[in-house]
């Protein structure tokens, strides 16, 4: 497949064949839950698409409008999008999609996925841990200070438990991290609806860490597809921080899914402290890429700032 040889159609939301779309995401070597129609319908209602062939190559277009100007941006809680394909994702094809997108939108700011590699684009860190081996083998790669912290955790006799709803965990995440995340109240509502829908489909779950007296110490909202478990929103409460409850949460999650063949996707991070925390578990960096183009007239660039 050579650059320029693809006919790429712009498909409006109501014309997207979502069964074909989801089949491509499932078959794509780089398929991610963020690009599933259910996730996009919730987090970017009315999204459009670029499609080549019979959904052989696809690219979600998560557009918004402000002051009559349509632009493409990344929806909240959606780490990576970009191009997906049933075939091996070709680096030659990606520029065709970005050019096609740029002919329609003057302002684009999106995160492409880890296989959409473009040399001059800014790379962001994302740590992953394959859960194919047994727990014992995975834990043998834990860093020394993590082992020490887990020993401390054992003294507190914490409990690792499922929860049947995600709403309290999402509210807690919002209260704790809203300033840092930059997501709006409406984004959290959409995210809650998204997780409720995924939980009904068996594609999301919540895990809590509780003290022997029943106090919530940490919680995590996770999505799951046939390849990955995604750490979408995990929160540690003040008492939980003192007890290293976040170390316990992820260690128990790894114990639960070890040997499953899935990948634990920690979802970040560019922040050195958080990156170091994930690396303690033996996680490796799988970077993804930021793409930006701004061809707004000079007079409108102030608006973007």
**Whether residue 266 has pLDDT greater than 80:** yes
Beta bridge partners of 24: none
Q: Are 127 and 278 in contact (CB under 8 A)?
A: yes
Label residue 30 by pLDDT band (50, 70, 90): very high
**Mean pLDDT, range 72-79, rounded to an integer:** 96
Confidence (pTM): 0.93
Q: 3-state DSSP call for residue 62? A: coil
Confidence of residue 225 (pLDDT cuts 50, 70, 90): very high
- Write down the pLDDT at residue 90: 66
Which residue has 């114990």 as its token pair?
255
Q: What is the dihedral of CA 186, 192, 197, 198, to 10 degrees?
A: 120
Instruction: Using the predicted structure, report yes or no on whether residue 4 has a pLDDT greater than 60.
Output: no
- Mean pLDDT value across the chain: 92
Closest CA relative to residue 10, chosen from 99, 95, 75, 93: 99
Each residue's pLDDT tens digit, 141-196: 999 999 999 999 999 999 999 999 999 999 999 999 877 777 899 999 999 999 99
pLDDT recorded at residue 126 = 97
Q: Which residue has the higher pLDDT, 304 or 252?
A: 252
Where helices occur in 157-280 by DSSP H, the ranges are: 167-181, 185-200, 238-242, 245-257, 272-279
């Amino acid at each position: 497949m050579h650059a320029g040889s693809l006919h790429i159609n712009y498909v409006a939301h109501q014309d997207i064949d979502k069964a074909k779309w989801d089949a491509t995401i499932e078959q794509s070597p780089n398929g991610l839950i963020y690009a599933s129609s259910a996730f996009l319908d919730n987090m970017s209602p009315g999204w459009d698409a670029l499609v080549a062939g019979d959904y052989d190559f696809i690219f979600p277009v998560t557009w918004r409008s402000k002051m009559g100007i349509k632009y493409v941006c990344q929806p909240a809680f959606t780490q990576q999008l970009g191009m997906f394909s049933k075939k091996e994702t070709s680096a030659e094809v990606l520029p065709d999609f970005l050019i096609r997108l740029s002919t329609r939108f003057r302002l684009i700011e999106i995160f492409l996925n880890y296989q959409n590699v473009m040399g001059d684009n800014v790379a962001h860190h994302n740590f992953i841990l394959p859960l194919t081996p047994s727990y014992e083998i995975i834990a043998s790669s834990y860093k020394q200070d993590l082992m020490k912290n887990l020993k401390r955790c054992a003294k507190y006799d914490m409990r690792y438990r499922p929860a049947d709803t995600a709403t309290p965990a999402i509210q807690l995440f919002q209260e704790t991290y809203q300033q840092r995340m930059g997501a709006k109240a409406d984004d959290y509502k959409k995210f809650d609806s998204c997780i409720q829908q995924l939980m009904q489909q068996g594609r999301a779950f919540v895990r809590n860490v509780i003290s022997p007296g029943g106090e919530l110490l940490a919680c995590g909202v996770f999505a799951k597809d046939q390849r990955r478990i995604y750490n979408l929103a995990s929160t540690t409460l003040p008492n939980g921080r003192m007890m290293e409850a976040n170390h316990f949460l992820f260690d128990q999650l790894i114990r639960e899914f070890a040997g499953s063949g899935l990948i634990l996707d920690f979802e970040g991070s560019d922040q050195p402290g958080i990156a170091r925390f994930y690396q303690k578990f033996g996680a490796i960096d799988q970077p993804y890429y930021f793409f930006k183009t701004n061809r707004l007239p000079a007079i409108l660039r102030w608006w973007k700032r």
